[in-house]
Protein backbone atom coordinates (compact mmCIF):
# COMPACT_ATOMS: atom_id res chain seq x y z
CA UNK A 1 0.00 0.00 0.00
CA UNK A 2 1.53 2.72 1.59
CA UNK A 3 3.69 5.55 0.59
CA UNK A 4 4.39 8.67 2.60
CA UNK A 5 0.82 10.07 2.56
CA UNK A 6 -0.72 6.76 3.59
CA UNK A 7 1.86 6.16 6.33
CA UNK A 8 1.38 9.71 7.58
CA UNK A 9 -2.38 9.09 7.70
CA UNK A 10 -1.78 6.00 9.82
CA UNK A 11 0.67 7.93 12.02
CA UNK A 12 -1.93 10.56 12.76
CA UNK A 13 -4.51 7.90 13.53
CA UNK A 14 -2.18 6.18 15.97
CA UNK A 15 -1.03 9.43 17.55
CA UNK A 16 -4.58 10.38 18.40
CA UNK A 17 -5.50 7.05 19.95
CA UNK A 18 -2.47 5.27 21.43
CA UNK A 19 -0.03 7.99 22.49
CA UNK A 20 0.21 7.90 26.27
CA UNK A 21 -1.07 4.32 26.49
CA UNK A 22 0.89 1.47 28.04
CA UNK A 23 1.64 -1.79 26.24
CA UNK A 24 0.26 -4.83 28.05
CA UNK A 25 1.38 -7.61 25.70
CA UNK A 26 2.32 -8.52 22.14
CA UNK A 27 1.07 -11.61 20.34
CA UNK A 28 1.59 -13.06 16.89
CA UNK A 29 0.62 -16.07 14.82
CA UNK A 30 3.39 -15.29 12.31
CA UNK A 31 6.74 -14.88 14.11
CA UNK A 32 8.58 -13.75 10.98
CA UNK A 33 6.69 -10.47 11.19
CA UNK A 34 8.53 -9.73 14.45
CA UNK A 35 11.87 -9.10 12.82
CA UNK A 36 15.02 -9.79 14.80
CA UNK A 37 13.38 -11.13 17.95
CA UNK A 38 11.53 -14.22 18.99
CA UNK A 39 7.94 -13.47 20.01
CA UNK A 40 8.51 -13.92 23.74
CA UNK A 41 11.60 -11.70 23.74
CA UNK A 42 9.79 -9.08 21.67
CA UNK A 43 6.85 -9.00 24.06
CA UNK A 44 9.11 -8.89 27.10
CA UNK A 45 11.11 -5.97 25.70
CA UNK A 46 8.09 -3.69 25.27
CA UNK A 47 5.48 -4.85 27.79
CA UNK A 48 4.91 -2.32 30.56
CA UNK A 49 6.28 0.59 28.55
CA UNK A 50 4.31 3.65 27.61
CA UNK A 51 4.02 4.91 24.04
CA UNK A 52 5.46 8.40 24.36
CA UNK A 53 5.01 9.49 20.75
CA UNK A 54 4.32 8.21 17.24
CA UNK A 55 6.58 9.42 14.44
CA UNK A 56 7.24 8.67 10.79
CA UNK A 57 10.44 8.47 8.76
CA UNK A 58 9.80 7.91 5.06
CA UNK A 59 7.48 4.90 4.95
CA UNK A 60 8.42 3.69 8.44
CA UNK A 61 6.30 4.22 11.55
CA UNK A 62 8.07 4.77 14.86
CA UNK A 63 6.45 4.14 18.24
CA UNK A 64 8.79 5.73 20.78
CA UNK A 65 8.51 3.97 24.12
CA UNK A 66 9.22 5.16 27.65
CA UNK A 67 11.95 2.53 28.14
CA UNK A 68 14.32 3.90 25.51
CA UNK A 69 13.19 1.53 22.76
CA UNK A 70 11.29 2.30 19.58
CA UNK A 71 8.99 -0.07 17.73
CA UNK A 72 9.59 0.39 13.99
CA UNK A 73 6.80 -0.79 11.69
CA UNK A 74 6.86 -1.11 7.90
CA UNK A 75 3.61 -1.85 6.07
CA UNK A 76 5.22 -2.75 2.73
CA UNK A 77 2.52 -3.52 0.13
CA UNK A 78 -0.59 -4.63 2.01
CA UNK A 79 0.01 -3.89 5.69
CA UNK A 80 -2.60 -2.19 7.84
CA UNK A 81 -2.43 -0.93 11.42
CA UNK A 82 -5.86 -0.85 13.00
CA UNK A 83 -6.77 0.47 16.43
CA UNK A 84 -9.64 -1.58 17.84
CA UNK A 85 -11.32 -2.44 21.11
CA UNK A 86 -9.68 -5.47 22.62
CA UNK A 87 -12.85 -7.54 22.34
CA UNK A 88 -13.64 -6.70 18.72
CA UNK A 89 -13.77 -9.64 16.31
CA UNK A 90 -10.34 -10.41 14.88
CA UNK A 91 -10.26 -9.84 11.14
CA UNK A 92 -8.57 -12.35 8.83
CA UNK A 93 -4.87 -11.71 8.12
CA UNK A 94 -4.32 -10.16 11.55
CA UNK A 95 -0.81 -11.36 12.40
CA UNK A 96 0.46 -9.14 15.21
CA UNK A 97 -1.56 -7.71 18.09
CA UNK A 98 -0.16 -5.11 20.49
CA UNK A 99 -2.55 -5.12 23.41
CA UNK A 100 -2.74 -1.86 25.34
CA UNK A 101 -3.83 -1.31 28.92
CA UNK A 102 -7.27 0.25 28.98
CA UNK A 103 -8.84 -2.19 26.53
CA UNK A 104 -7.52 -1.28 23.10
CA UNK A 105 -5.41 -3.15 20.55
CA UNK A 106 -3.12 -2.09 17.75
CA UNK A 107 -3.61 -4.84 15.16
CA UNK A 108 -1.24 -5.41 12.24
CA UNK A 109 -3.03 -7.04 9.30
CA UNK A 110 -1.11 -8.01 6.20
CA UNK A 111 -2.42 -10.17 3.38
CA UNK A 112 0.94 -10.62 1.68
CA UNK A 113 2.97 -10.88 4.88
CA UNK A 114 5.74 -8.58 3.64
CA UNK A 115 5.36 -6.08 6.49
CA UNK A 116 7.15 -6.29 9.80
CA UNK A 117 7.75 -4.71 13.18
CA UNK A 118 11.12 -4.55 14.87
CA UNK A 119 12.69 -3.06 17.98
CA UNK A 120 15.43 -0.45 17.86
CA UNK A 121 17.15 1.59 20.53
CA UNK A 122 15.77 5.10 20.25
CA UNK A 123 19.17 6.67 20.77
CA UNK A 124 20.53 4.69 17.81
CA UNK A 125 17.95 5.79 15.23
CA UNK A 126 16.81 9.11 16.71
CA UNK A 127 13.33 9.73 18.04
CA UNK A 128 12.08 10.79 14.62
CA UNK A 129 14.29 8.32 12.79
CA UNK A 130 16.68 11.08 11.80
CA UNK A 131 19.64 8.73 12.15
CA UNK A 132 18.14 5.71 10.39
CA UNK A 133 20.67 4.49 7.85
CA UNK A 134 20.07 4.45 4.12
CA UNK A 135 17.24 6.96 3.96
CA UNK A 136 17.26 10.20 2.00
CA UNK A 137 15.69 13.48 3.15
CA UNK A 138 12.08 13.88 4.25
CA UNK A 139 10.47 15.60 1.27
CA UNK A 140 8.10 17.70 3.38
CA UNK A 141 10.72 18.93 5.83
CA UNK A 142 11.66 22.62 5.72
CA UNK A 143 15.24 21.58 5.17
CA UNK A 144 14.34 19.85 1.89
CA UNK A 145 14.74 22.88 -0.36
CA UNK A 146 14.81 23.04 -4.15
CA UNK A 147 18.55 23.60 -3.80
CA UNK A 148 18.97 20.36 -1.86
CA UNK A 149 16.91 18.54 -4.50
CA UNK A 150 18.97 19.98 -7.37
CA UNK A 151 22.22 19.11 -5.64
CA UNK A 152 21.17 15.51 -5.00
CA UNK A 153 19.98 15.10 -8.59
CA UNK A 154 23.26 16.36 -9.96
CA UNK A 155 25.07 13.62 -8.10
CA UNK A 156 23.07 11.00 -10.05
CA UNK A 157 23.27 12.23 -13.66
CA UNK A 158 22.88 8.85 -15.35
CA UNK A 159 19.85 7.65 -13.42
CA UNK A 160 16.41 7.58 -14.89
CA UNK A 161 14.28 10.02 -12.98
CA UNK A 162 11.53 7.50 -12.18
CA UNK A 163 13.99 5.08 -10.63
CA UNK A 164 15.51 7.89 -8.60
CA UNK A 165 12.19 9.19 -7.26
CA UNK A 166 11.29 5.80 -5.77
CA UNK A 167 14.81 5.22 -4.41
CA UNK A 168 14.43 5.62 -0.63
CA UNK A 169 18.08 6.61 -0.25
CA UNK A 170 17.47 9.52 -2.63
CA UNK A 171 14.24 10.80 -1.07
CA UNK A 172 12.37 8.95 1.67
CA UNK A 173 8.69 8.17 1.25
CA UNK A 174 7.87 8.35 -2.47
CA UNK A 175 6.64 5.13 -4.09
CA UNK A 176 5.22 4.06 -7.40
CA UNK A 177 1.94 5.98 -7.27
CA UNK A 178 3.29 9.38 -6.33
CA UNK A 179 6.39 9.09 -8.52
CA UNK A 180 4.14 8.68 -11.56
CA UNK A 181 1.92 11.54 -10.43
CA UNK A 182 4.86 13.87 -9.79
CA UNK A 183 6.30 13.12 -13.23
CA UNK A 184 2.98 13.90 -14.88
CA UNK A 185 2.73 17.13 -12.91
CA UNK A 186 6.20 18.14 -14.05
CA UNK A 187 5.69 17.07 -17.67
CA UNK A 188 8.68 14.74 -17.54
CA UNK A 189 8.85 11.22 -19.01
CA UNK A 190 9.73 8.52 -16.49
CA UNK A 191 12.66 7.28 -18.56
CA UNK A 192 14.48 10.61 -18.73
CA UNK A 193 18.10 10.65 -17.58
CA UNK A 194 18.46 13.28 -14.90
CA UNK A 195 21.41 14.95 -16.65
CA UNK A 196 19.00 16.01 -19.43
CA UNK A 197 16.57 17.79 -17.11
CA UNK A 198 16.28 21.55 -17.50
CA UNK A 199 16.27 23.92 -14.54
CA UNK A 200 12.55 24.44 -15.03
CA UNK A 201 11.88 20.70 -15.10
CA UNK A 202 13.84 20.17 -11.90
CA UNK A 203 11.86 22.93 -10.23
CA UNK A 204 8.58 21.47 -11.44
CA UNK A 205 9.59 18.07 -10.07
CA UNK A 206 10.42 19.64 -6.72
CA UNK A 207 7.15 21.56 -6.65
CA UNK A 208 5.21 18.46 -7.67
CA UNK A 209 6.72 16.37 -4.91
CA UNK A 210 5.72 18.85 -2.23
CA UNK A 211 2.33 19.72 -3.70
CA UNK A 212 1.14 16.20 -4.49
CA UNK A 213 2.31 14.62 -1.24
CA UNK A 214 0.60 17.39 0.75
CA UNK A 215 -2.61 17.08 -1.26
CA UNK A 216 -2.65 13.31 -0.79
CA UNK A 217 -2.15 13.64 2.97
CA UNK A 218 -5.04 16.11 2.98
CA UNK A 219 -7.21 13.40 1.37
CA UNK A 220 -5.93 10.79 3.83
CA UNK A 221 -4.02 8.83 1.22
CA UNK A 222 -4.78 6.71 -1.85
CA UNK A 223 -6.63 3.41 -1.67
CA UNK A 224 -6.04 1.42 -4.85
CA UNK A 225 -6.98 -1.87 -3.22
CA UNK A 226 -6.20 -2.56 0.41
CA UNK A 227 -5.05 0.66 2.08
CA UNK A 228 -7.09 1.78 5.09
CA UNK A 229 -6.37 4.06 8.05
CA UNK A 230 -6.37 3.04 11.72
CA UNK A 231 -10.17 3.06 11.73
CA UNK A 232 -10.45 0.94 8.61
CA UNK A 233 -11.41 3.91 6.39
CA UNK A 234 -10.15 4.15 2.83
CA UNK A 235 -8.18 7.14 1.57
CA UNK A 236 -9.76 9.76 -0.67
CA UNK A 237 -7.00 10.65 -3.13
CA UNK A 238 -7.67 8.02 -5.77
CA UNK A 239 -10.04 10.20 -7.86
CA UNK A 240 -7.27 12.78 -8.04
CA UNK A 241 -4.74 10.44 -9.67
CA UNK A 242 -3.95 11.66 -13.16
CA UNK A 243 -2.03 8.72 -14.65
CA UNK A 244 -1.36 5.99 -12.10
CA UNK A 245 -3.24 2.81 -13.13
CA UNK A 246 -5.05 4.74 -15.84
CA UNK A 247 -3.45 2.98 -18.81
CA UNK A 248 -5.46 3.65 -21.97
CA UNK A 249 -7.55 6.41 -20.42
CA UNK A 250 -7.39 9.96 -21.70
CA UNK A 251 -4.72 12.15 -20.14
CA UNK A 252 -6.59 14.74 -18.03
CA UNK A 253 -5.03 17.47 -20.17
CA UNK A 254 -6.77 15.95 -23.19
CA UNK A 255 -3.60 14.89 -24.99
CA UNK A 256 -4.45 11.25 -25.62
CA UNK A 257 -4.24 7.86 -23.90
CA UNK A 258 -2.04 7.16 -20.89
CA UNK A 259 0.72 4.66 -21.63
CA UNK A 260 2.30 2.02 -19.39
CA UNK A 261 5.95 0.99 -19.55
CA UNK A 262 8.24 -0.88 -17.16
CA UNK A 263 11.22 0.83 -15.53
CA UNK A 264 13.28 -0.91 -12.90
CA UNK A 265 10.83 -3.77 -12.85
CA UNK A 266 7.91 -1.52 -11.91
CA UNK A 267 5.05 -0.08 -13.90
CA UNK A 268 5.26 3.52 -14.98
CA UNK A 269 2.17 5.31 -16.24
CA UNK A 270 2.57 8.49 -18.26
CA UNK A 271 1.25 10.60 -21.09
CA UNK A 272 3.58 10.45 -24.11
CA UNK A 273 2.25 13.79 -25.36
CA UNK A 274 2.59 16.10 -22.38
CA UNK A 275 5.48 14.32 -20.68
CA UNK A 276 8.74 14.83 -22.52
Partner DNA sequence: GTGGCCCTGTGA
Partner DNA sequence: TCACAGGGCCAC
Which residue in 101, 152, 234, 266 is the catalytic one? Answer: 266
Separation of alpha carbons 81 and 79, rounded Å: 7
| 268, β-bridge pairs | 261
Separation of alpha carbons 242 and 181, rounded Å: 6
Q: Which of 144, 149, 185, 227 binds DNA (CB under 7 A)?
A: 227
CB of 132 to DNA, least distance (A): 10
Footprint of DNA on residues 182-221 (CB under 7 A)? none
Q: Does 111 bind DNA (CB under 7 A)?
A: yes
Q: Which of 18, 26, 28, 58 binds DNA (CB under 7 A)?
A: 58
Q: Does 18 bind DNA (CB under 7 A)?
A: no
Separation of alpha carbons 273 and 121, rounded Å: 50
Q: Does 114 bind DNA (CB under 7 A)?
A: yes
Does residue 154 carry a catalytic annotation? no
CB atoms within 10 A of CB 49: 17
Start-to-end CA distance of the chain, whole Å, equals: 28
Dihedral pair phi/psi, residue 257, rounded to 5°:
-75, 145
CB of 223 to DNA, least distance (A): 5
Does residue 252 carry a catalytic annotation? no
CA 146-152-157 angle, 5° bins: 120
The binding track of 144-183 with respect to DNA, each residue x by CB under 7 A or -, is --------------xxx--x--x-x------xxx------
Indicate the residue among 58 and 187 with the shorter CB distance to DNA: 58
Amino acid sequence: MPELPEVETVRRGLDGTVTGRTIASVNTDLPKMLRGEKPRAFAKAVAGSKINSVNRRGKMLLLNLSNGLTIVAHLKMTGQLLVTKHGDPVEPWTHVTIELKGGRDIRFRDIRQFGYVEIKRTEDIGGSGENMPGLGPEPLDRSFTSGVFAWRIKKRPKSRIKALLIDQSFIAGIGNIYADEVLHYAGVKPGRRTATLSLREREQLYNGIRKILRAAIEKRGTSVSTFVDTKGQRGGYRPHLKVYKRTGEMCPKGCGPVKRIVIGGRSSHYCPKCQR
